[in-house]
Amino acid sequence: MSTNEKTFKKPTPALAGMLMACIVALLIIGLMLLKTISLHACLTIAVVFTCVISKFCLGYSFDELIGFIADSIKNATFGLWFFFAIGTIIASWMAAGTVPAIIYYGLGVISPAVFLPAGLILCSITALCTGTSWGTIGTVGIALVGIGQGMGVPLPITGGMILSGAAFGDKMSPVSDTPNLTSMSAGADLHKTIKAMIQTAAPAYVIALIGFTILGMQFAGVEANLAVAEETRSVLAANFNLNPIVLLPIVVLLYLNFKKFPSLPSMAIAVAVGLLVAIVFQGVRLDTALEYLNSGFTIETGSSFVDPILNRGGIQSMLWTFSIAFIALSLGGLLDRCGYLYALIAGLLSRAKTVGSLSLVVMVTSILSTASMGETYMGMILNGTVYKKEFDARGLDRAMLARLVSEGALMLAPLMSWTTFGAFAMSTLGVSGFEMAPYAILNYTMPVVSVAMSYMGLAVVWNNKKNKGVRKFVDADLSDEPVYET
């Protein structure tokens, strides 16, 4: 080794565990105990603390650490642009009447006998098209709560159904930050990630749909008060042209995704189509429509219930999420490049000799990351980052990693009332995640189905067809490329 080469200490599991414990403690104290410190501030402190520990305990210079952060942000630049794309697509589709039409037609087909399965499908479609579980819970979810109460459906059951559909649609939507963020963190192609997700999501969704259908049968004979739904539909009909043509932006986006057209250009085209529909069918001026892309769609219908459903979207609305992702990516880059994450999981990986056991490890650590840090973005970014080299070495496609991370970090998050997602869901729906948990069928079915299928050799995505069918790994030394055994 030349005298100009610099060596660094590898973090021990004890040091890595201490650092992660400090980060978790910081988040718990700041977000749950003090409740006055923002997540941004907590994560920024965590970044600074990690830099200090890495300099004095491992020997890195601050310039090198900043370089790690820069590399992480650089690699995620494409994904970060999706946050702006999502904000503009929501605004343009609101202005076009696309989202209002989804809500209008969806509420028109709900009856007591099919309330739960229909509500699941409605929330799924809304989140799938808008790319936001929070927006779905805060819009269609609120309407469904009112309808459910009128039908005599217990609030925890209605809430569980809403969370199931909203989380599913968010996880599967090409315009959502979830698949984009997990794909970005894992270094996977978005289209391959969504394709991989379908393999496990489809059977889990069928199970959930059957479950909600059975649950809903007990309310089939109940006479419902649909005043909330009718108010919403009448206000939407009075303020928008709801002919089926306004659904064109969704059709265009889904078609482009089906044809595997690049994601960002697809979303840009869908935004342009949305603006065109808004101008032609909703009578929106061009300058107003363009301003919606930045500040979000706004309308005053005279209904204090419906207005909050419609007034959303725009680039500015995504800056909170964008900044969280930016800081979390910085922290994730440090923890990855300095070796902290691998030091923690090396012991687990050495025992993961099969595809199923590896899937279980990723799933469990993704769930625990979200539970301990209180934030789905952190769980997705950290786990997507730390396992990607292991998946490469074992011949597994990173799209499968992105799928597992999203299933673990996102699906159970709304049931944990101390997470940001769970806190939002609890405050919006008026019921705790603990009460909704038994009825959020899809939220816990999907992770279980995914791991079970992996153990059976199903829904396994290989990056090399020669490895297809390989079930067991022989990996004596995780620092080297594993050898495969049939």
Alpha carbons within 13 A on the beta-carbon side of 375: 23
- C-alpha distance across the termini of the chain, in Å: 40
HSE toward the beta carbon, residue 120, CA cutoff 13 A: 25
Whether the pLDDT of residue 291 is over 90: the answer is yes
Decide: pTM greater than 0.75. Answer: no
Mean pLDDT for 259-271 is 83
- Average of per-residue pLDDT across 205-211: 96
pLDDT of residue 272: 95
Of residues 186 and 382, more confidence is placed in 186
Query: By three-state DSSP, how is residue 354 classified?
Result: strand
Q: Where does the pLDDT of residue 477 fall: very low under 50, low under 70, confident under 90, or very high at 90 and above?
A: very low
**Domain segments of the chain: what residues?**
78-318
Note the pLDDT tens digit of each residue in 339-371.
887 788 877 787 788 899 999 999 998 998 887
DSSP 55: I
In sequence order, the β-bridge partners of residue 396 are 462
Q: What are phi and psi of 396, to 5 degrees?
A: -100, 140
Q: What percent of the chain has pLDDT over 70?
A: 90
pLDDT band per the 50, 70, 90 thresholds, residue 139:
low
Residue 152 has pLDDT above 80, yes or no: no
- Percentages of the chain per state (helix, strand, coil), in multiples of 5: 75, 0, 25
User: In what helix (H) or strand (E) does residue 472 lie, and over which residues does it extend?
Assistant: strand 472-474
Q: Which helix (H) or strand (E) holds 483?
A: strand 483-485
Q: Is the model's pLDDT at 55 over the cut of 80?
A: yes
pLDDT at residue number 478: 40
pLDDT band at 383 (very low <50, low <70, confident <90, very high): confident
Highest mean pLDDT among 103-112, 131-140, 231-240, 326-335: 231-240
Asked whether residue 303 carries a pLDDT value surpassing 90, the answer given is: no
Mean pLDDT of 325-352: 81
Q: Which helix (H) or strand (E) holds 473?
A: strand 472-474
- Give the number of C-alpha atoms closer than 13 A to the C-alpha of residue 258, restricted to the C-beta side: 6
The pair of structure tokens assigned to 26 is 């910081």
Return the minimum-mean-pLDDT range out of 137-141, 431-435, 462-466. 462-466
Give the highest mean pLDDT range of 55-64, 96-105, 140-149: 55-64
Burial label, 364 (beta-carbon count in 10 A; 0-12, 13-18, 19+)? middle
pLDDT single digits (tens) 244-255: 999 998 888 878
pLDDT of residue 374: 64
Residue 273 region by backbone torsions, left for phi larger than 0, else alpha for psi between -120 and 50, else beta: alpha
Banded pLDDT at 140 (limits 50, 70, 90): confident
At 198, the pLDDT band (50, 70, 90 cuts) reads very high
Which of 434, 383, 404, 402 minimizes the C-alpha distance to 163? 434
Predicted confidence (pLDDT) per residue in 3-54, tens digit: 445 666 789 888 988 998 898 888 778 876 777 778 788 889 999 999 999 9
Percentage of the chain beyond pLDDT 90 is 34
Q: Is the pLDDT of residue 211 over 90?
A: yes
Long-range contacts at 10-16 (CB < 8 A, ≥ 24 apart)? 10/58, 10/339, 10/343, 11/57, 11/58, 11/338, 11/339, 11/340, 11/343, 12/343, 13/343, 13/344, 13/346, 13/347, 15/53, 15/57, 15/340, 15/343, 16/339, 16/340, 16/341, 16/343, 16/344
